């Protein structure tokens, strides 16, 4: 409206004569041009905030996972959903996700018509109402994965693990990985960080208790052999083919292991 007034000064003068209050406001706007600029800036911020608003809150799932955490393998899991479905087919019908941001992963799986549960290995802090609802309904639980999970053998068709194994020492990894294989009927999908990539930032020690121990691909393959776990060659092939077709490039290492 300010631009129209500047273009039509005669109309502004006539309006000022009939409405003194409006005239005084126009006088103030001429003496304070920064006011108009400030209003435009505020309006722009509101528009930007509105455009970023997602269905579950101000930040989208992608933003909620990635902010403040460096590279997130849990974000990779969400982006890989279509690829995992093509690689595993019916095995995606009943999925357990283990790792940070389990609420976001489980929520995504439920929207994809999969039965899904999650185990969050660390205390949930500052969670949104959607995550609290999943915990309250029993879809997501907080549990220390260094100890056996409270599930019967082969309770799930597929177990997906992200980030959490990077924070386990070899002592606990030797117990946790076989237990994850125990509760899975069709195998494990492991999302692990690449050596040399920063995992978490300021809150790492406070939340995880120790810095991440990032292992190389060759280390993981040797570990699978030593612990009697085998890589799922068929799933690997299907996953790689679907990844190429969909131009999916993960930020983390992905391993497919039979249970």
- pLDDT higher than threshold 60 for residue 135: yes
Domains in the chain: boundaries? 2-52, 61-257
pLDDT digits (tens, 9 = 90+) for 60-104: 444 333 333 456 899 999 999 999 999 999 999 999 999 989 999
pLDDT-wise least confident of 44-53, 88-97, 139-148, 177-186: 44-53
| Segment 214-232, tens digit of pLDDT | 899 999 999 999 989 999 9
Question: What is the CATH code for 61-257?
Answer: 3.40.50.150
Residue 49 pLDDT = 45
Q: What is the pLDDT of residue 235?
A: 96
* pLDDT at residue 201 tops 90: no
Tell whether the model's pLDDT for residue 159 goes beyond 70: yes
Whether the full predicted model's pTM is greater than 0.85, yes or no, is: no
Separation of first and last alpha carbons in the chain: 67
Q: How confident is the model at residue 115 (pLDDT cuts 50, 70, 90)?
A: very high
pLDDT band, very low/low/confident/very high, at 207 (cuts 50, 70, 90): low
Beta bridge partners of 183: none
Banded model confidence at residue 213, pLDDT cuts 50, 70, 90: confident
Indicate the range of 110-124, 153-167, 202-216 predicted with least confidence. Answer: 202-216
| Structure-token pair, residue 87 | 């690689």
Give the best-scoring range by mean pLDDT among 8-22, 194-208, 238-252.
Answer: 238-252
């Amino acid at each position: 409206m300010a631009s129209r007034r500047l273009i039509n000064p005669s109309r502004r003068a006539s309006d000022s004569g009939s409405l003194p209050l409006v005239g005084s406001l126009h006088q103030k706007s001429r003496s304070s041009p920064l006011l108009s600029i400030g209003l435009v800036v505020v309006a722009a911020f509101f528009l930007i905030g509105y455009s970023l608003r997602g269905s579950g809150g101000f930040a989208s799932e992608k933003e909620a996972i990635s902010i403040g955490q460096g590279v997130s393998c849990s974000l990779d899991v969400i982006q890989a959903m279509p690829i995992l479905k093509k690689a595993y087919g019916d095995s995606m019908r009943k999925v357990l996700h283990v790792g940070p941001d389990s609420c976001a992963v489980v929520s995504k799986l439920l929207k994809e018509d999969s039965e899904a549960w999650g185990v969050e290995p660390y205390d949930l802090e500052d969670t949104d109402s959607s995550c609290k609802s999943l915990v309250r309904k029993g879809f997501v639980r907080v549990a220390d994965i260094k100890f056996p999970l409270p599930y019967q053998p082969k309770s799930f068709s597929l177990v997906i693990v992200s980030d959490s194994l990077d924070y386990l020492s070899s002592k606990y990894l030797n117990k946790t990985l076989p237990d994850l294989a125990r509760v899975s009927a069709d195998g494990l999908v492991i999302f692990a960080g690449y050596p040399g990539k920063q995992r978490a930032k300021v809150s790492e020690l406070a939340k995880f208790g120790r810095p991440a121990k990032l292992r190389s691909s060759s280390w993981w393959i040797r570990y699978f052999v030593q612990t009697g776990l085998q890589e799922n060659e068929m799933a690997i092939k299907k996953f790689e083919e679907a990844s190429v077709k969909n131009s999916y490039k993960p930020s983390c290492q992905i391993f497919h292991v039979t249970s």
